[in-house]
């Protein structure tokens, strides 16, 4: 009776969400294809989210996710156009699959549901979620968190269909951004990152909160290493995905180096400040003249748009005028900063900031960015696994260790690149093995999973398979050890379905006496 009531309640909730979305869509300038796609997305999320939530752990509730999806459409989307390959609108996209115009709350997208959902997540983000006092990374780290969150938002639709969990790495916008974001989500929780991407006013310095959280949970040493490698990765990924920024960074690197050289000469430094203030004053004067002269403003509009890629073009003279007003304010702030530099304390802070900035800008000289990104992600995984070990050691209950088994299984199967998953990365096999064995030991201590053998090596060899299967409900998992031609194999079952059998590597020392479970008998893994 109780189950019937719960099912009835679920249906009522689904119907309410559908009606809520439909009432919002009635007020929007969306074509019919867009409306149908959005309703399909909602339907599929409702069907798949339960599996997503169970498999991944530490995510929004289904209600929170769906409400967020509806809110993003209501608040941030005014015009959605679905572009057919045969239509004239495809010229707007060029070789892109979508276009997001945040200023005008406009989306142009091919009829691909996961791409449309990605656009909705993207259009809802503020470009800068880190204060400008963090040079270079105010942009690159903002992008890393935002893009990671966008990819994370699409996952319930992309990888879950209501009956299976399948990850196709080529459908992920960037596996590198995704790995870094999932590392942070697992270490700090989805809620913290979700609040960070909503940060608009900078009342809270989330970079400082980020550091404090890492300190509290994993210690100062780990925090310093994590932040250092993530900051580096954010710049490298920016250089990879936005190569047009490379020239800008190269030019800025040269300018910063010149400034650092002048800082060490007091006379040159004062001369530099005077010159910079003069330049800024001239630039402010030019802005004032341009925004008050229609012809000059039109010329500036054409000039700026000439070399910009499609997704970064300025869509109207009105938008340009607003941009230039914002630029004027920034230049006034720069003048104030230069005035502050006559204060010795401010000067020391400025010098330190310039040295940090130069450290990031030097990355532009790296020749093989792909290789550097790969090596840096591997280094990050080693630090992540060290921190995750601490997380396991603090587990005290059955529910916590079950969450941990699901969570680490999810991490293990994350795509590392477009060819292999995390569990196939050679450079971290030792660390992965140690973590899995630690989880198994903790789970057995808490009487959560069975002991298959008194021989720890054999026991770990058998149970490690839990972390490489995509059976969604692990609590319904059965295991069977079979013997064929003097070799031992393991099979894992979910009801009547089973994974491919795999040979037990320690079978050369294995005999029936080594096992705590019977040969050829299905045994439930979770107690």
> Do 12 and 86 have their domain in common?
yes
Question: What Cα–Cα distance (Å) separates residue 12 from each residue in 4, 6, 9, 17, 21?
Answer: 12, 10, 5, 9, 14
Question: Which contiguous run of DSSP H or E holds residue 415?
Answer: none
Helices (H), 446-485: 456-463
Task: Name the 3-class secondary structure at 489.
Answer: strand
Does the residue 219 lie in any domain? no
State both tokens at 314. 């300025």
Does residue 165 fall inside a structural domain?
Answer: no
Q: What's the CA gap between 138 and 4, in Å, rounded?
A: 51
- What integer best gives the mean pLDDT of the chain? 91
Q: Give the range of the structural domain holding residue 6, as residue numbers without chain letter.
A: 1-124
Q: Per-residue pLDDT tens for 166-187?
A: 999 999 999 999 999 999 999 9
Same domain, 435 and 519: yes
In this structure, the answer to whether residues 403 and 306 fall within a common structural domain is no
Say yes or no: 321 and 438 in one domain.
Answer: no
DSSP state of 362: G
Of 297, 323, 342, which residue sits at a domain end? 342
Per-residue pLDDT of the chain (527 residues; tens, 9 = 90+): 444 455 455 554 455 899 999 999 999 989 899 999 999 999 999 999 999 999 999 999 999 999 999 999 999 999 999 988 766 666 778 788 899 999 999 999 999 999 999 999 999 999 999 988 888 999 999 999 999 999 999 999 999 998 899 999 999 999 999 999 999 999 999 999 999 999 877 888 999 999 999 999 999 999 999 999 999 999 999 999 998 888 899 999 999 998 888 888 878 888 888 898 999 999 999 999 999 998 999 988 888 888 777 777 888 888 889 999 999 999 999 999 888 887 888 888 888 888 899 999 999 999 999 999 999 999 999 999 999 999 999 999 999 999 999 999 999 999 999 999 999 999 999 999 999 999 999 999 999 999 999 899 999 999 999 999 999 999 999 999 998 888 889 999 887 666 778 888 766 566 778 888 889 899 999 98
- pLDDT of the residue at 87: 65
Q: Which residues contact 136 (CB under 8 A, 6 or more apart)?
A: 235, 357, 360, 361
399 and 501 together in one domain: yes
Write down the residue that tokens 């404090």 correspond to: 212
State which of 80, 96, 124 marks the end of a domain: 124
Count how many domains the chain has: 3
Dist. CA 39–CA 36, nearest whole Å:
5
Q: Give the pLDDT confidence of 243-290 residue by residue, as tens digits.
A: 888 889 999 999 999 888 888 887 888 888 889 899 999 999 999 999
User: Is residue 2 located within the same domain as residue 108?
Assistant: yes
Neighbours of 484 (CB within 10 A): 9
Task: Tell me: do 405 and 508 sit in the same domain.
Answer: yes
Q: Within this chain, do residues 335 and 422 fall inside the same structural domain, yes or no?
A: no
| pTM for this entry | 0.84
Integer angstrom CA distances of residue 28 from 81, 107, 243, 494: 11, 12, 36, 45
Q: Please enumerate in sequence order all residues whose Cβ is within 8 A of that of 336, keeping only pairs 6 or more positions apart, or say none.
A: none
DSSP string, 236-283: HHHHHH-TTHHHHHHHHHHHHHHHHHHHTSHHHHHHHHHHHHHHHHHH
pLDDT one-digit tens code per residue, 204-237: 899 999 999 999 999 999 999 999 999 999 999 9
Q: Which helix (H) or strand (E) holds 114?
A: helix 113-123
**One domain, residues 436 and 519:** yes
Instruction: List the beta bridge partners of residue 101.
Output: 106
């Amino acid at each position: 009776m109780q189950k019937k009531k719960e099912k009835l309640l679920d249906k009522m909730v689904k119907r309410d969400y559908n009606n809520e979305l439909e009432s919002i869509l009635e007020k929007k300038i969306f074509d019919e294809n867009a409306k149908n796609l959005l309703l399909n997305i909602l339907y599929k999320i409702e069907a798949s989210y339960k599996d997503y939530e169970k498999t991944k752990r530490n995510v929004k509730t289904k209600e929170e996710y769906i409400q967020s999806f509806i809110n993003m459409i209501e608040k941030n989307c005014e015009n959605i156009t679905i572009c057919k390959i045969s239509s004239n609108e495809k010229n707007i996209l060029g070789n892109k699959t979508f276009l997001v115009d945040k200023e005008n709350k406009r989306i142009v997208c091919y009829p691909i549901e996961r791409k449309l959902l990605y656009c909705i997540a993207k259009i809802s983000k503020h470009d800068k979620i880190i204060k400008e006092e963090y040079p270079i990374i105010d942009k690159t780290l903002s992008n890393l968190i935002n893009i990671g969150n966008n990819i994370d938002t699409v996952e319930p639709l992309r990888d879950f269909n209501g009956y299976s969990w399948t990850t196709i790495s080529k459908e992920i916008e960037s596996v590198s951004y995704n790995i870094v974001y999932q590392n942070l989500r697992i270490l700090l929780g989805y809620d913290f990152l979700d609040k960070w991407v909503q940060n608009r006013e900078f009342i809270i310095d989330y970079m400082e909160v980020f550091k404090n959280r890492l300190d509290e949970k994993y210690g100062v040493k780990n925090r310093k290493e994590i932040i250092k490698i993530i900051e580096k990765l954010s710049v490298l990924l920016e250089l990879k995905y936005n190569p047009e920024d490379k020239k800008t960074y190269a030019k800025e690197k040269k300018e910063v180096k010149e400034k650092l050289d002048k800082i060490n000469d007091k006379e040159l430094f004062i001369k530099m400040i005077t010159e910079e203030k003069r330049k800024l004053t001239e630039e402010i004067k030019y802005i004032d003249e341009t925004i008050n002269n229609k012809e000059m403003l039109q010329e500036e509009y054409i000039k700026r748009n000439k070399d910009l890629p499609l997704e970064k073009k300025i869509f109207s003279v009105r938008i340009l005028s607003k941009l230039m007003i914002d630029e004027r304010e920034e230049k006034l702030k720069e003048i104030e900063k230069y005035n502050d530099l006559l204060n010795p304390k401010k000067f020391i802070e400025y010098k330190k900031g310039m040295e940090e900035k130069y450290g990031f800008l030097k990355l532009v000289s790296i020749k093989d960015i792909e290789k550097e990104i790969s090596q840096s992600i591997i280094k990050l995984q080693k630090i992540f696994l060290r921190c995750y070990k601490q997380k396991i050691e603090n587990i005290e209950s059955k529910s916590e260790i079950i969450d941990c088994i699901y969570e680490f299984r999810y991490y293990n199967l994350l795509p590392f690149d477009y060819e292999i998953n995390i569990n196939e990365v050679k450079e971290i096999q030792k660390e992965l093995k140690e973590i899995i064995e630690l989880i198994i030991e903790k789970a057995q201590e808490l009487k959560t999973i069975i002991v298959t053998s008194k021989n720890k090596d054999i026991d770990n060899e058998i149970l490690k398979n839990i972390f490489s299967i995509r059976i969604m409900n692990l609590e319904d998992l059965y295991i069977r050890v079979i013997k064929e031609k003097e070799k031992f194999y393991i099979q894992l079952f979910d009801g009547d379905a089973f994974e491919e059998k795999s040979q037990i590597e320690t079978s050369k020392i294995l005999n029936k006496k080594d096992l705590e479970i019977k040969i050829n008998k299905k045994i439930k893994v979770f107690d």
